[in-house]
Each structure stands twice: as structure tokens, then as C-alpha cells.
Amino acid sequence: MDFYINTGPMRVLVTGGSGLVGKAIEHVVLQEGGKLEGEEWIFLSTKDADLLDVGQTRAVFEKYRPTHVIHLAAKVGGLFLHMKENMHFLRDNLRINDNVLQTAHEMGVTKVLSCLSSCIFPDKTTYPIDETMIHNGQPHDSNFGYSYAKRMIDVQNRAYFQQFGRRYTAIIPTNVFGPYDNFNIENGHVLSALMNKTYKAKTEGTPVTVCGTGAPRRQFIYSLDLGRLIVWVLREYEEIAPIILSVNEEDEVSIKEAVEMIADALDFKGKIQFDTTLPDGQMKKTASNAKLRRYLPNFTFTPLQEAIKKTCDWFVANYDTART
């Protein structure tokens, strides 16, 4: 198979382009000057192609002929949905990822940047976790299907490089939140679900009930910060091995601290209670961003309280159209 080296302006195809991270990249590219002259950025949604279907995947690649791909599309859900449907999350994500990576390879895509998740890390491990530890043990039981499917992207990237010289890589963001997130209380990510829950409690004059003890600790990254870093990775990062995109270790907070910040941002004065009969999930998964800091020692993350306030303001302003 003859591979060409693309030397002209990039034509970037973003799968999952209408979601939380895709919208953040779109903002960075179109509103913050992230797009260079002559470049094309195409943001796909499920309306454009069902990436579970290899024929539709091939058709959308042939339509846009990308030189670069940012692969964000995935079957995702909250903790409780993952616990119920591990098989579905495993099969669907394996198929999506294989369709995207193999089609990119067959069509001569110069670089694919895939998005992994911090849930891929081993459950029983030492902290902080770094990029070399991904495969050193089983992921947490609650979402092992999704986690193993995401881990396989790293395996595929290494294999495409070893066998074909393909420069496909991956990022591992910690817990992402921001505008355009899924704010659904049942299956949204933790911060966004709590924002919706707190807003509802404020309007109804009821307490906020948080699932679990509030003790688990997480590193939360604002979606616009992640968008800026992804554009940098696409342009500058040359390794096949993945890179963790995260705030510093000392910026990790408990769910209890996070919900208090949300209450403050929404001016919620009611009671916050914790339902300790419900599971907490992983108590911590502290990630090291030392590799990122070697590349970008001066990158400034949006402070968590400020990012939560911006996201809450967006959610309230867009309540009628937000994913709830």
C-alpha cells in the first residue's frame, strides 16, 4: 500500500464533534484562532454517520478525505449505566474504534488522535498513575467493558506504528466537564449531573441528594482547556505512546467539595445530603501530568471554581436545549 505524506493544510475530521469535547475543540478552532489558514475542520455527529457501521464509516471518510482525525466518538454513560451494560459498552466501542482506525489507515490518514479515559487505569495500583501504567492490572469492575475497549486503542496504535509506520496516538483526559455536556441526572458525568440536580433542587425548594459518601476524589478538567490541549497534541505531539491531559495532582478535589462549589455557583442555599447506601465507584484515580508539564510547563488551567461557574451559567442560559 502506498502511503502519501500530506504537506498541505490539514483537513481535520472530528468524530463525536457535537459532544462536550468536540464543541470545545470547535470553539478553540473557530473562536480562539486555533484554525490556521487553508485548514478545514469537519465536526461529525451521529447524523452524519453511524460509526458502528463500517460502510457508513468508509463513506464519510471518502466524502471528506481527511488528512488528520480526532477520534472522540464513543458509546458513553454514567456509572450506573456502565454497571448494567458492560457487554454493550465493550462491543460497541471496540467496533467504533476499529472502524475508525482501520478506515483511517486504509485511506492514508497522516495522524489519528484518539481520546481515552482515566477509567482505563488499573483499579489496584499506586498513585499517581502515569502513562506507562495503563495495562498494569484490571480496570475497576464498574465499567470494565468500556475500559478494555478504550485500552485497545493504545494497543492498536502501537500495532499500526510497528507494522505500518502509522503515527496514531491517544490522549487520556481526566474528568471533563463544561458547556454542551450531558447533564442527565441518571447517566451524565458526575459534575454535570450534579449541576442539573442542584438547579432542580433550587427551583423546587428541595434538598440535593448526592449518590455515595462524597469522599471520592477526582481531577476535573474544563472542556475548553482540554480543547486547547488537543489542538496542541494534534499539531506538536509526535509520540505514539499516549499522554495524560490533566490538572495538577494537588488540584484534585472530593465530590463533596465539588458539589459545594456547584451550590455556590448556582446560589443554592438548601440542604446537601449524601445517600451512603449507593456505591461510590473508584475512590481515587490520581493521574500525573508530569509528561504534559515537560512539554508545556507554563500551560495555565482555568481554576475549578471559575470553570464550574462558567458551566453552571451556560447550563442555566441553555436549559431548554441542553442535554438533560
Q: 309: closest CA among 265, 277, 267, 273?
A: 265
Query: CB within 8 A of 211, min separation 6: which ones?
Result: 79, 275, 278, 279
Q: Which residues of 110-146 are buried (b: 16+ CB within 10 A; e: fewer)?
A: bbbbbbbbbbbbbbeeeebbebebbeeeebbebbbbb
Task: Write the single-letter amino acid at 83.
Answer: M
How, if at all, do strands 68-71 and 11-15 pair? parallel
| CA distances (Å), origin 83, targets 33, 136, 291 | 41, 22, 32
Task: Give the chain's end-to-end CA distance (angstroms, integer).
Answer: 46
Q: Is the peptide bond before 216 cis (omega within 30 degrees of 0)?
A: no
Which positions are annotated as active-site residues?
146
Q: Which grid coordinates are listed for 263?
A: 451550590
Q: Which of 95, 186, 201, 111 is nearest to 149 (CA)?
A: 95
180 Cα distance to chain centroid: 12
Q: 126: which 3 cell numbers?
A: 499506586
| CB burial string 47-67: b at 16+ within 10 A, e below | ebbebbeeeebbebbeebebb
Distances (CA, A) of 74 to 15, 21, 29, 117, 297: 9, 12, 22, 11, 31
Beta bridge partner(s), residue 287: 129
Cite the beta strand spans of 202-279 per DSSP E.
208-211, 217-218, 220-222, 243-245, 253-254, 272-275
